[in-house]
Amino acid sequence: MFSYIGRRASHSILSVIGLLTLVFFLTRLTGDPSALYLPLDATAEARSAFARLNGLDQPIPWQFAEYLKDLLHLDFGQSLRQNRSAIEVALQAFPETLKLALVAITLSTALAILVGSLAAARPGSLFDRIASLASLAGASAPDFWVAIVGILVFAVGLEVLPTSGTGTWAHWIMPIFVLMLRPFGLLVQVVRGTMLSALASPYIKTARAKGVRRQKIIFGHALRNSLLPVVTVAGDLATGLVNGAVVVETIFGWPGIGKLMIDSIIQRDFAVVQSTILVTATAIFILNIAIDLLYAFLDPRIRY
Amino acid sequence: MTIISPDAEPAAAPGTSRVLLAYLRRDRLALAAAIFLALLVLAALLGPWLVGDAASRLGLRQRNLAPFSPDHAWIYFLGADTLGRPILARLVVGAQSTLGIAAAAVFSSMLIGGTLGLVAGYSERWYSHLILRLADVVMSFPSLLLALIVLYTLGPSITNLVIVLAITRMPIYLRTARAEVLELRERMFVSAARSMGAGPARIILRHIAPLVLPTLVTIAAIDFATVILSESALSFLGLGIQPPDFTWGAMVANGRGYLSTAWWIAFWPGLAIMLTTLSLNILSNWARTVADPQQRWRLQTLRKAAR
Amino acid sequence: MKSSSVLAIASAVLMAAAASSAMAQAGQEIRIVLPEQPANLEPCGTIITNVGQILSQNVVEPLTVIDPATGQPRPKLATEWTQVDPVTWRLKLRDNVKFQDGSDFNAEAAVFSINRMTGGKITCSNNAKFGDAKLEVTAVDDLTVEIKSDKPQPILPTLLSVVMVVSPKTPEDKAVNDPVGTGPFKLSTFSPQTVVLDAFDGYWGQKPEFTKATYVWRPESSIRAAMVETGEADLTPSIAIQDASNPETDFAYLNSETTAIRIDTAQPPLDDLRVRKALNLAIDWEGLAQLFGDDVKRASQMVVPGINGHDDALEAWSYDPEEAKKLLEAAAADGVAVDTEIKLIGRNGIYPNGAEAMEAMMTMWQAVGLDVKLTMLDVADWLRYLQKPFPEERGANLLQMMHDNNKGDAAFTIPIFYRSSGNYATLADPALDKEIDAALAATGEDRTKSFKALFDKARKEVVADIPMFHMIGYTRVGPRLDWKPDITTNSEIPLANIRLKD
Amino acid sequence: MKNAHDSIRKGEGPILKIEGLTVDFLSNDAPVRAVDNVSFQVNRGETLVILGESGSGKSVSTSTVMDLVDCPPGDIVGGSCLFDGIELSRLDPEGRRNINGRRIAMIFQDPLAYLNPVYTVGRQIAEVFESHDAAQGAQARANAIELLRRVGIPEPESRVDFYPHQFSGGQRQRVMIAMAIALKPDMLIADEPTTALDVSVQAQILDLLRDLQRETGMALVMITHDLEVAASMADRIIVMNGGKIVESGLAQKVFDNPQHPYTRRLIAALPHGEAAEASHRRSTDIRGETLLKVEHLTKEYVLASGAFAGKRRFRAVDDVSFDVRKGETLGIVGESGSGKSSIARILLRLNEPSSGKAFYAGENIFEMSGKRLVAFRRKVQMVFQDPYGSMNPRMNVRSIISEPWAIHRDLLARNRWKDRVAELLELVGLKPDHAERYPHQFSGGQRQRIAIARALASEPELIVCDEAVSALDVSIQAQVIDLLADLRTRLGLSYIFITHDLPIVRHFADRIMVMKQGKIVEEGPTSALFSAPQHDYTRSLLRAVPKPKWLMSTDAPSAAPGELRPERTRNGSMAG
């Protein structure tokens, strides 16, 4: 088990290094940031001074060597935009996204398991049809569209929720709801599908032959065995959320890492781009290892 | 089966397409989805010819024309957009680019991801590990950053958008294909082929790939929906398709500012996206049921014996 | 049971609502929602809209301010100024002014602030207004400062409006996020969600009505408008025209922005005057104006009225597609390749409805027979085309642009666009260069007249651009505030000017 | 307890009476009649064996009793099931649930699949008590431990917390049995309980079932396709074919004097001990030259067993040497884990050996590579246990059979393929027009014929048959072996015939090699090995073959070797 974690971690570190290198060179392809940081009417001297000040006048491989050297001292560079340490900026934004993503994925997984199992228990029933269709419909709409309509209806029209921002629990409702739509829709399908095949499996016959109560057959036997694929998909979706709650963060003014990343990308704030990617990639790799461990916990047959 | 003497007739297979059609008819929702998608493909193919240049005809004096106005031509039935262009015509023309982009992206990511997955699953050489690490990297590479890099270095165009979407979706196919191969390569018929002297290329192409394909196609159907949605999210962030080209996603993104004053601009393309992705999901659910021998009976006309 | 519980909930909701409105009144707090998060709060970057709207005249104050009506400088921290000789100005400073950290404002502090800006040790956006001028600043006495420059600076007092005075304790070689100035508010918090300002008790001028100001940001205009509508915020600048639907709260103001298309005069067939004129004539200006609202002003030149040098008499191009076609035919007859593909380069999010405008113009140009193709670019990519050196192999191109001159003088406009050395200029006409140099050196009436002449020439003879509109901004102001936006709103929102209705 | 009271009424007439039961499975086409007007009864305390081959409807009829048939797609067309005077079809779900597990219990063929993989066996046994409110919590657990001890699981106190995958196949079936007898049911239905098990383990399980039946006096309904198992267990026997009962009666009578032609054919196909000696299909001329010579073959696996324990080594094949002569059939016999299949895979270079040599026509197989290896793979072919699994389901029969020619291009010109496929299909007893069909359209026996045709396509000299007939019904087994023997005579082939089933090789092999835990324990000519086995293990294997019940003395159940039998709790008292 420990050797497995060690192996996975070393793979992950390799991947993170590869990712950072790739991002470093690719972002430099997107042009000179000085034009964005100086007013349009800045002089040529001002531009070259800016480049010199921020080390942008060096050849890119040299800049990369500098970057690596600083990395060894745990120096992730300064944000051009924000006048402070890039990693600090990223680490400040990340928990906000993590909170949102965790709540959204936990809630949608829990709800999807409930709805999906009930749907699978009586396939073809009215509940099954409505649950499948509604969850899929939710997952099929562009999220920013849902978000804006949600604000117009619930905040402006009905005035029951705040439009956006952070603070009270009421501020969480709409962002979480929008974030949940797609994971919930997909997970209901996954739960329903795996539950259907689990309910058709031999050990369910054994349970029925033993006279186990129906509820326990569904939630005790079938569901417990269906969790593995659900965890896989939920893990993938969580990865997506950690990396991509951009739309929700943008619309609701949630100061998360997705928004930070897109702003830094558009503003060519390279050090912050690198740091956000370092943070999210590390989180994603940790998440993946955690999911593997969860597998072993859920299925006693899996041993690493 | 009773004892089968060597000359007993093996069961004859019924016409596959006829059976599928019968299954489709049994699931009314799937049937509706299939009809909708068929119409959509038809519209995408013939639409531009039907509506002519109406999709780009300016009408600055009928900006944000409300839908169902009786005193305008039929093409304004769904209203007009911010430049007074008929939304109906733009939906039809947009169908082509929307579906085209999604299809191209899904197809190329399936092809590339699937191939890499086959190689990574079958071989245990160094390049298999490289492919896996590459997949890790791509998976944690933010698609937005990729979009911007491509947009900047290669310029805004439909092809480049396809590249971005294809790369970001690729790891799914890679991982699925690899997982399937890991299982398939232990199967007896692969051993049998190897024992007959078949080389790796033949085993991968002739024996493994045809069995991996159905799984990949099922994923592709759902992914198609995902790609349409990601494309619209990119448009929302200004990193998607750039005017004068447009997709439904871009139409929703451009119309979002008018949701409180002219809801129809973002509503119709949003509805089109939703119905399309919904139909794809419903159809792929149906396909899963068809493929599962334990569930297939649900789609069959169960004829009871006379009693 | 049931009705009583409903009642309980209802009363709880009502009480909560009452409490929140009571809070807002008692605390005298103002909440402003901006379109963008300020990346930093460096006072040297107040010309950046979202920094200036928070800091300018609230936390930090400049030496002079520009009168929005006349475009002339007025005293702020500098009370009077005299030009000793063409390269020397002498300023008198306001007495009894204290910084928020307790230190005194004096000549030393002013010298420090100017040197910090021009020193080159930090990236200072405001410094760009000075161009390549070299300044030597000395403190004559405690409240007098002398500024010497390497070449004549006839509008130095105007320029001084971008000099934000900061406490001498501010690091000279490091950009900061905790500015300390002399303004009526001091910075309390700066987080990724919000900026909070608290009233500064030691302020030298009139006390503002608010004790606290909170800034948040949302990129979506409709959400910002909704926030003011629901009372979550009191004020939001720059909402989209379609959101400015309530005349009670939504105010239009002519901002200092002028939109235009630059014609690359170096590239055939755009080097032909007739083609350039045809480009101007082919646009249905009235129709296009629909995109920007009823109050938008058709532009004939690159600066807004009120800027020194603006020629009110200059007429804008009219819509005459027939004439445009004729001009193109004539050019074609002379062998000009009018069927060359012309790239129309737009920028994402340059101004509201910017992309729609480009699409519309492309369609209109295509209608008169020009092969115009639209390409929308990301900011950094677009900048490559805007600024020199231009990309090689750029081909015939038209560039969407927006110019913001809120500094009162055409000197901030003419040289960059029309002089061969200008950063955005595609022209290279030595005769024109000479005229421009003369105008820049002139003062008073003469200066105004020369600028007007240059704008006339640009519009009628050179035709290096397609001026579109002087833009209108819309601001939604909550019902409890008594305030109206003006031309300076895009760069600053002085809280001291905002009053509460009673 | 109620159960104790019920079980006293032994031998008082039928506990279960099935009358005119008819079950259909619905599909797009006409419904498939799985059970057709079946009537039988089970008397208290007796053992009834339902004998039939796959698809005969024997499992469906008992599943209907347990309410395990899903409707739809199942459809109970008619009939009644009277259990202890209760009409089962009229009970509500809760009523059925009360009977299942408490009064009727069931065990299944594949305990690994039929045990829930994510729960400990203790929990699954305790669940029976909890579901019927017989015991809860610690008491249920204590009962589970007691039951495990009773069915012969060693160290039940600790094993109670193990998961199903941590037990061996035989132990898993013991766990299933423990679960079934937890509440002392009146009737136990055992659906092919020993089919997947080795002979020696099979004998133990059958003994256990017999003992338990004696203790509790329950009725035992045993479903099997194996005539020997049927004979060793049955008081009465029912033979089913095509959903119908074709014969029924007292066991000895049915076996000694079968009435129905189907039954007769079944019994005739049984490779009876001495009869095999007379009707054998061994080769008649064995030319002297050696085709394959294996020397000191060893295959070692390293088991990584966690972070703290050291690495364990496991020898799947341990210093094995043998040779095969031209035209000869070598039988390799052993139970699961004996290393017999590893040898096959190593010889075909599907796995690499740890050490040792194997010379094929004088050349070391393990040093071959490239062209030499391809040429070798043409000469030696393999027929696998599961013919369906060994064929690509997406390829039709023609592509399957012509694959060797696609690989070995010089073997046959492409324009001759079609004719040759037809020839080969005829050679193995199929029709040439079957070439366009797909594997799933054939029966098991037919598929194995296709696999043999494919093996023959590359004109091999040696065919390795790895459990080639084990998955087939008894009557089919004989047909396939006859085919193999015919081909040997006609084409001069040699075989290595790997199996766990001694009687089958007796019929067919010239020489037999018995393996145990990777080692050869005995080797010799077939008749000598059967008549005078030298090694204890061989003797115990021969003894483990079930004997008819009426030939056994009741008080001395055969003690089978292999797995150690823990001490049995003498009084056999069950908790509860």
CATH number for the domain that contains residue C111: 3.90.76.10
**Looking at the domain assignment, is residue A82 inside a domain?**
no
**Looking at the domain assignment, is residue C49 inside a domain?**
no
| Domain shared by C377 and C491, yes or no | no
Over the Cα atoms of chain B, what is R_g? 24
Per-residue model confidence (pLDDT) at position D285: 60
> Under a CB-based contact definition with an 8 Å cutoff, are residues A160 and A154 in contact?
yes
**What CATH code is carried by the domain that includes residue C401?**
3.10.105.10
Q: How far apart are CA B28 and CA B283, in angstroms?
A: 11
C346: confidence class by pLDDT, cuts 50, 70, 90: very high
Per-residue model confidence (pLDDT) at position B100: 92
**What CATH code is carried by the domain that includes residue B64?**
1.10.3720.10
Looking at every residue in chain A, the average pLDDT score rounds to: 86
B125: confidence class by pLDDT, cuts 50, 70, 90: confident
In chain A, residues with a C-beta closer than 8 Å to the C-beta of C174 are 83
Chains that touch A (3 or more CB pairs under 8 A): B, C, D
Q: Do B304 and D446 touch (CB under 8 A)?
A: no
C-alpha triplet D423, D428, D433: angle, nearest 5°: 55
How many distinct structural domains can be found in chain A?
2
Q: Does B233 touch chain A (CB under 8 A)?
A: yes
Structure tokens at B162: 């396809």
Q: How far apart are CA D504 and CA D498, in angstroms?
A: 10
| Domain shared by A134 and A245, yes or no | yes
| Domain shared by A219 and A281, yes or no | yes
Q: How far apart are CA D326 and CA D340, in angstroms?
A: 21
C164: confidence class by pLDDT, cuts 50, 70, 90: very high
Given D374, D441, D449, which is nearest B6 (Cβ)? D449
Structure tokens at B225: 């929906």
In chain C, residues with a C-beta closer than 8 Å to the C-beta of B156 are 375-377
Looking at every residue in chain C, the average pLDDT score rounds to: 87
The sign of the dihedral angle between the CA atoms of B156, B162, B163, B165 is: positive
| Domain shared by A161 and A225, yes or no | yes
Q: Do A166 and C381 touch (CB under 8 A)?
A: no
Per-residue model confidence (pLDDT) at position C92: 93
Beta bridge partners of D86: D83
| Domain shared by A217 and A104, yes or no | yes
| Domain shared by C339 and C461, yes or no | yes
pLDDT above 60 (res B246): yes
Residue of chain C nearest B59, judged by CA positions: C287
| Domain shared by A68 and A19, yes or no | yes
Question: A206 vs chain D: nearest CA distance in angstroms?
Answer: 6
Q: Which residue has the higher pLDDT, B302 or D96?
A: D96
Q: How far apart are CA D570 and CA B119, in angstroms?
A: 60
Per-residue model confidence (pLDDT) at position B1: 31
Q: Does B13 touch chain D (CB under 8 A)?
A: yes
Residue of chain C nearest B257, judged by CA positions: C222
How many distinct structural domains can be found in chain B?
1
Which one of A48, A72, A96 terminates a domain?
Answer: A72
Given D106, D116, D131, which is nearest A225 (Cβ)? D116
Report how far Cα C25 is from the mean position of its chain's Cα atoms. Answer: 33
A262: confidence class by pLDDT, cuts 50, 70, 90: confident
pLDDT digit string, tens, across residues B262-289: 888 889 999 999 999 889 888 888 888 8
Q: Domains of chain D by range and CATH?
A: 278-292+324-543 (3.40.50.300)
pLDDT digit string, tens, across residues A174-224: 999 999 998 999 899 889 988 888 888 889 989 988 888 888 999 889 998
Q: How far apart are CA C239 and CA C475, in angstroms?
A: 6
> Under a CB-based contact definition with an 8 Å cutoff, are residues B142 and A280 in contact?
yes
Residues 6+ positions from D401 with CB-CB distance below 8 Å: D421, D424, D425, D435, D450, D453, D454, D457
Per-residue model confidence (pLDDT) at position D284: 61
Q: At what angle do helices B87-122 and B158-184 cross, to 10 degrees?
A: 40
Q: Do D393 and B193 touch (CB under 8 A)?
A: no
Which one of C165, C195, C212 terminates a domain?
Answer: C165
User: Per-residue b/e over C160-183, b at no fewer than 16 CB within 10 Å?
Assistant: bbbbbbbbbebeeeebbeebbbbb
Per-residue model confidence (pLDDT) at position D30: 73
**Looking at the domain assignment, is residue B10 inside a domain?**
no
Name the residue range of residue A147's domain.
87-298
**Looking at the domain assignment, is residue C52 inside a domain?**
no
Q: Do A262 and B144 touch (CB under 8 A)?
A: yes
| Domain shared by A95 and A183, yes or no | yes
Asked if residue C62 has a cis previous peptide bond (ω within 30° of 0), the answer is no
| Domain shared by A163 and A235, yes or no | yes
Q: Do B243 and C376 touch (CB under 8 A)?
A: yes
| Domain shared by C264 and C383, yes or no | yes
Question: C236 vs chain A: nearest CA distance in angstroms?
Answer: 14
Given C222, C375, C381, which is nearest B259 (Cβ)? C222
Q: Which residue has the higher pLDDT, C30 or A242?
A: C30
**What CATH code is carried by the domain that includes residue A200?**
1.10.3720.10
**Looking at the domain assignment, is residue C194 inside a domain?**
yes
Q: State which residues of chain D have pLDDT below 70.
A: 1-12, 28-29, 269-281, 283-288, 303-312, 552-576
Residue of chain A nearest C218, judged by CA positions: A253
Task: Report helix, strand or coil for D321.
Answer: strand
Q: Does A225 touch chain D (CB under 8 A)?
A: yes
Chains that touch B (3 or more CB pairs under 8 A): A, C, D
Query: Do D and A count as touching (3 or more CB pairs closer than 8 A)?
Result: yes
Q: Do B11 and D431 touch (CB under 8 A)?
A: no
| Domain shared by C129 and C149, yes or no | yes
| Number of B–C residue contacts, CB under 8 Å | 74
| Domain shared by A61 and A123, yes or no | no
Q: Which of residues 175-234 of A touch C (CB under 8 A)?
A: none
Structure tokens at D263: 């039954």
Q: Which residue has the higher pLDDT, C119 or C332?
A: C332
Query: Do C and D count as touching (3 or more CB pairs closer than 8 A)?
Result: no
| Domain shared by A30 and A92, yes or no | no
Name the residue range of residue C394's domain.
255-472
Question: A134 vs chain C: nearest CA distance in angstroms?
Answer: 27
Chains that touch D (3 or more CB pairs under 8 A): A, B
- pTM of the entire predicted model: 0.84
| Domain shared by A118 and A225, yes or no | yes
In chain D, residues with a C-beta closer than 8 Å to the C-beta of A294 are none
| Domain shared by C208 and C161, yes or no | no
Per-residue model confidence (pLDDT) at position D565: 37
Question: A205 vs chain D: nearest CA distance in angstroms?
Answer: 6
Q: How far apart are CA C403 and CA C386, in angstroms?
A: 12
Q: Which residue has the higher pLDDT, D546 or A282?
A: A282
Q: Do A203 and D101 touch (CB under 8 A)?
A: no
In chain A, residues with a C-beta closer than 8 Å to the C-beta of B222 are 186
Q: Does A209 touch chain D (CB under 8 A)?
A: yes
Q: How far apart are CA B100 and CA C390, in angstroms?
A: 35
Q: Which residue has the higher pLDDT, B142 or C366?
A: C366
Q: How far apart are CA C410 and CA C95, in angstroms?
A: 33
- HSE, side-chain direction, 13 A CA sphere, residue A192: 31
Name the residue range of residue B251's domain.
28-296
| Domain shared by C242 and C301, yes or no | no
Q: Which residue has the higher pLDDT, D273 or C465?
A: C465
Looking at every residue in chain B, the average pLDDT score rounds to: 82
Asked if residue C269 has a cis previous peptide bond (ω within 30° of 0), the answer is yes
| Domain shared by C461 and C388, yes or no | yes
> Under a CB-based contact definition with an 8 Å cutoff, are residues C70 and C306 in contact?
yes
pLDDT above 90 (res A5): no
User: Per-residue b/e over A223-251, b at no fewer than 16 CB within 10 Å?
Assistant: bbbbbeebbbbbbbbbbbbbbbbbbbbbb
| Domain shared by C307 and C379, yes or no | yes
> Under a CB-based contact definition with an 8 Å cutoff, are residues C277 and C270 in contact?
no
Q: Does B149 touch chain C (CB under 8 A)?
A: no
Query: Do A and C count as touching (3 or more CB pairs closer than 8 A)?
Result: yes
Per-residue model confidence (pLDDT) at position B38: 93
In chain A, residues with a C-beta closer than 8 Å to the C-beta of D102 are 211
Per-residue model confidence (pLDDT) at position B4: 34
C431: confidence class by pLDDT, cuts 50, 70, 90: very high
Per-residue model confidence (pLDDT) at position D5: 42
Residue of chain D nearest A297, judged by CA positions: D118
How many distinct structural domains can be found in chain C?
3
Q: Does B254 touch chain C (CB under 8 A)?
A: yes
Per-residue model confidence (pLDDT) at position D135: 84
Q: Does C467 touch chain B (CB under 8 A)?
A: no
Backbone φ, ψ for residue D331 (5° rounding): -95, 130
Q: Do D117 and A209 touch (CB under 8 A)?
A: no
Q: Do C174 and A83 touch (CB under 8 A)?
A: yes
Q: Do D131 and A213 touch (CB under 8 A)?
A: yes
Q: Does B273 touch chain A (CB under 8 A)?
A: yes
Which one of D127, D162, D167, D192 would you mutate to disrupt binding with A, by most A Cβ within 10 Å of its Cβ?
D127
pLDDT above 60 (res C97): yes
pLDDT digit string, tens, across residues C121-154: 888 888 888 877 888 999 999 999 999 988 888 8
pLDDT digit string, tens, across residues B4-30: 333 444 444 445 677 778 888 888 888
